[in-house]
Amino acid sequence: MAKGLAVAKIPRHACPMSEPFDLSIRGAEVITPQGRIRADVGVRDGVIAAIAPDLCCDHEVDATGKLLLPGGVDVHCHIEQMSGMGLMNADTFETATRSAAMGGTTTVVSFAAQAQGQSLRVAVDDYAARAKRGALVDHAFHIIVADASVDDLDDDLAALIAQGHRSIKLFTTYNIGVDDATILRVMAVAREAGALVCVHAENDAMLGLAKKALLARGMTAPKHHALSHPRLAEVEAVERMCRFAEFMDTPVMLFHISCAEALEAVRRARHRGVPIWAETCPHYLLSTAEVLDKDGVEGAKWMCSPPQRDRADARALWNGLGAEDLQVVSSDHAPYRYDNTGKLLAGPTPDFPDIANGMPGLEVRMPLMFDGFTQHGMSVEQMVQACCDTPARIYGLTGKGRIEVGYDADLVVWDRHARHTYGADDLHDNTGYNPWEGHDVIGWPQVVILRGEVIVQNGDCRAKAGQGRWIKRDAIGVGGAGQHRDLAFMEGGA
């Protein structure tokens, strides 16, 4: 796509159009896949109907001097979900998606997490019903497979995929980690049925060994969490998952790449032609493990897995985004309050293994990345690729992530000059703190539009619980073709 900043000139023509619009966003520089153009955007029936000059209408949003971005697409967030430690996160679908909307995100993909012994269908129905009642923005689910021993797993999974749930999440670690045989089995189902397999890739035994050694030495503070997640544990698992994807010829998404060597493993695999994509998150791009080193257990607020790494890693990740070795920036929103319902559930001074992992991120992702891409010499167009368009394409979110005729009118009027300093508790989720307190950004979502309806204007959220729609997704991946040469015999090959 075009990365240049030129504003295209479009011939003017007279208003009114032959058919009226429901809404027109007027006078912005519109960030489209073809580059940046100064135009109005006319919306009809929730869909972008025209991008052209002089699209007047009874209901207009004046965006003169502003940018118009697609609504954010955040494809990795934990909402109303039980953690691996058995702790419900702090947000409901209503609070999380209010927060998303306030930050310029109009599509979220969260998780339908299988409990031990639970059928996948029951898990998905449960999350879907709660999202239907609560969500303010459009949404879909990754199906977490945590217990492969349940009856009918493969059939249920294939049926759910066929119904439009087109991604699966697996862990290689934690108490919901699955073994290699299960990973390959799920990849095979995904491949046949047309779904993407997403992996939290860290080597379980390496994490276990590091944790044990730290605890034996009394190294129990939040800052020791970083040491308990050695970078090689991530590198080993990422490399292995790349080989699994290569072996099965199945599309795989590596979640939350945090360090340079893991990125390098992804880059090498992609160069071999492996169908791999990779994601990183704002906290790996913009902070380091220093955030964990605070008085007492305050560092718990920033604890997540993998942990933040160092400056050289962050630089490598920015370069990886520039080179498109990394394709997606997601929030990994995983909200836990800094009190005895969340981070301090095990007491006021818990050891790091007893602290829930995760930080709020849905609301800050778009502003942090708009500012971050600019500060790192990249364009708004590249930011839109990583935060809206590419995630929508990879995850089969048809109609999302782009300003183009025929796409959903999910739009954000972006004030590129507005300065904002985050406060201690200024987010609209239910976490009760903002890990980005004191961080300055330039650029702010002024008006947020979901399928043609203004849902946020100047800090006022008008969206209603239940307004968000579930997105039925299209098939993903290579289907029945291919497979690595080692598996050719399965298709009658030599």
Q: Which of 98, 139, 142, 200 binds ligand DUC (CB under 6 A)?
A: 200
Output the smallest distance, CB 358 to Zn ion, in A. 7
* Residue closer to ligand DUC, measured from CB, 193 or 241: 241
Instruction: Report which DSSP code applies to 385.
Output: I
Torsion of CA 23, 29, 35, 41, to 10 degrees: 10
**Binding of residue 112 to ligand DUC (CB under 6 A):** no
Output the smallest distance, CB 333 to Zn ion, in A. 8
Output the smallest distance, CB 76 to Zn ion, in A. 6
**From the list ligand DUC, Zn ion, none, which binds 231 (C-beta under 5 to 8 Å, kind-based)?**
none
Nearest C-alpha neighbor of 33 from the set 403, 414, 411, 407: 403
Q: Please, which residues have CB within 8 angstroms of residue 355's CB and are 6 or more apart in sequence?
A: 222, 225, 297, 300, 303, 343, 344, 346
**Binding of residue 200 to Zn ion (CB under 5 A):** yes
Beta strand pairing call for 252-254 and 276-280: parallel
**From the list ligand DUC, Zn ion, none, which binds 357 (C-beta under 5 to 8 Å, kind-based)?**
ligand DUC
Quickly list H helices, 118-203: 120-134, 153-162, 180-193
Output the smallest distance, CB 304 to ligand DUC, in A. 3
Output the smallest distance, CB 335 to Zn ion, in A. 11
List Cα–Cα distances, 193 to 61, 76, 267, 486, in angstroms. Answer: 43, 22, 27, 21
Cα–chain center distance at 439: 21
Beta strand pairing call for 328-329 and 276-280: parallel
**Binding of residue 234 to Zn ion (CB under 5 A):** no
Token pair for 287: 């902070």
> d(Cα 420, Cα 367) in Å, to the nearest integer?
9
**Binding of residue 332 to ligand DUC (CB under 6 A):** yes
Number of residues forming the site for Zn ion (CB under 5 A): 3
| Residue numbers 377-436 binding ligand DUC by CB under 6 A | none
Output the smallest distance, CB 477 to Zn ion, in A. 21
**Binding of residue 358 to ligand DUC (CB under 6 A):** yes
Nearest C-alpha neighbor of 27 from the set 71, 60, 72: 60
**Binding of residue 305 to ligand DUC (CB under 6 A):** yes
The piece of 26-34, 253-261, 348-356, 402-410 that touches Zn ion (CB under 5 A) is 253-261
**From the list ligand DUC, Zn ion, none, which binds 112 (C-beta under 5 to 8 Å, kind-based)?**
none
**From the list ligand DUC, Zn ion, none, which binds 91 (C-beta under 5 to 8 Å, kind-based)?**
none
DSSP string, 457-470: ETTEE---TT-S-B
> d(Cα 113, Cα 281) in Å, to the nearest integer?
21
Output the smallest distance, CB 175 to ligand DUC, in A. 13
Output the smallest distance, CB 19 to ligand DUC, in A. 46
Specify the 3-state DSSP secondary structure of 131: helix
> d(Cα 229, Cα 208) in Å, to the nearest integer?
9
Q: Sign (positive/negative) of CA torsion 479, 384, 257, 97?
A: negative
Number of residues forming the site for ligand DUC (CB under 6 A): 9
Identify whether the C-beta of residue 62 lies closer than 8 Å to the C-beta of residue 416. Answer: no
List Cα–Cα distances, 464 to 125, 398, 416, 450, 471, in angstroms. Answer: 22, 23, 27, 12, 18
Instruction: Report which DSSP code applies to 491.
Output: G
Q: Sign (positive/negative) of CA torsion 253, 311, 227, 429?
A: negative
* Residue closer to ligand DUC, measured from CB, 110 or 446: 110
> d(Cα 161, Cα 157) in Å, to the nearest integer?
6
Q: Which of 80, 249, 313, 332 binds Zn ion (CB under 5 A)?
A: 332
Query: What string marks each residue from 229 to 268 as x (binds ligand DUC by CB under 6 A) or -?
Result: ---------------------------x------------
Q: How many residues does the chain have?
A: 494
**From the list ligand DUC, Zn ion, none, which binds 304 (C-beta under 5 to 8 Å, kind-based)?**
ligand DUC
**Binding of residue 342 to ligand DUC (CB under 6 A):** no
**From the list ligand DUC, Zn ion, none, which binds 165 (C-beta under 5 to 8 Å, kind-based)?**
none
The piece of 30-38, 252-260, 292-300, 456-464 that touches Zn ion (CB under 5 A) is 252-260
* Residue closer to Zn ion, measured from CB, 67 or 207: 207
Output the smallest distance, CB 359 to Zn ion, in A. 10
Q: Which of 55, 292, 304, 380 binds ligand DUC (CB under 6 A)?
A: 304
* Residue closer to ligand DUC, measured from CB, 26 or 139: 139
Q: Which residues bind Zn ion (CB under 5 A)?
A: 200, 255, 332
Q: Which residues bind ligand DUC (CB under 6 A)?
A: 78, 200, 256, 304-305, 332, 334, 357-358
